[in-house]
Amino acid sequence: MRPQLFWVGIATGVISAVLSLIYGAVYQAALGADFSGVAPVTAVASASIAAGVLMMLGHWLWERWRNGKAILIFNIILVSISLLSSAIPFAVSLPLNIPAPELFPGMVVPMHLFPALVWLGLQPLLSDKNRTGGGR
């Protein structure tokens, strides 16, 4: 595995975790909701980091299987999985003691999209032009 791929995967997880936590805090403060019981900080951060690691492993396996080609198809699959996973919060039944459960999907759906967005933003670091050999 290329070192760049490892660091892009870790950076994706950490950056998306930070974005998710900031977004969750702002969302809950703005709407006066408290979902810390169903979406604790540790769960949000670990899910984001796990997503970054899974994307790193998926990209590595895809490169090995496709001999470094067809990254566009990998990105389409990644975005599709990310969009499909954003439907999961709508199927979750929250405990009855949680006030305003209808606001929960509005908080966690964007969190499902952050890892893919960060990955796509950092992916140019993996291109052949950015490898240590340089070149145009």
The domain locations on the chain are 3-93+100-122
**Are 20 and 14 in contact, with CB atoms under 8 Å apart?**
no
Mean pLDDT (the chain) is 89
Residue of 67 and 82 predicted with greater confidence:
82
Residue of 134 and 87 predicted with greater confidence:
87
Spatial separation of the C-alpha atoms in residues 47 and 2, rounded to whole Å: 24
**pLDDT confidence bin for 135, thresholds 50/70/90:** very low
Q: Which two tokens stand for residue 16?
A: 């998306």
Residue with tokens 């459960």: 101
What is the per-residue pLDDT for 56? 94
- To the nearest 10 degrees (0 to 180), the angle between helices 41-66 and 71-85 is 150
Spatial separation of the C-alpha atoms in residues 130 and 7, rounded to whole Å: 14
Residue with tokens 């900031």: 22
What is the per-residue pLDDT for 136? 44
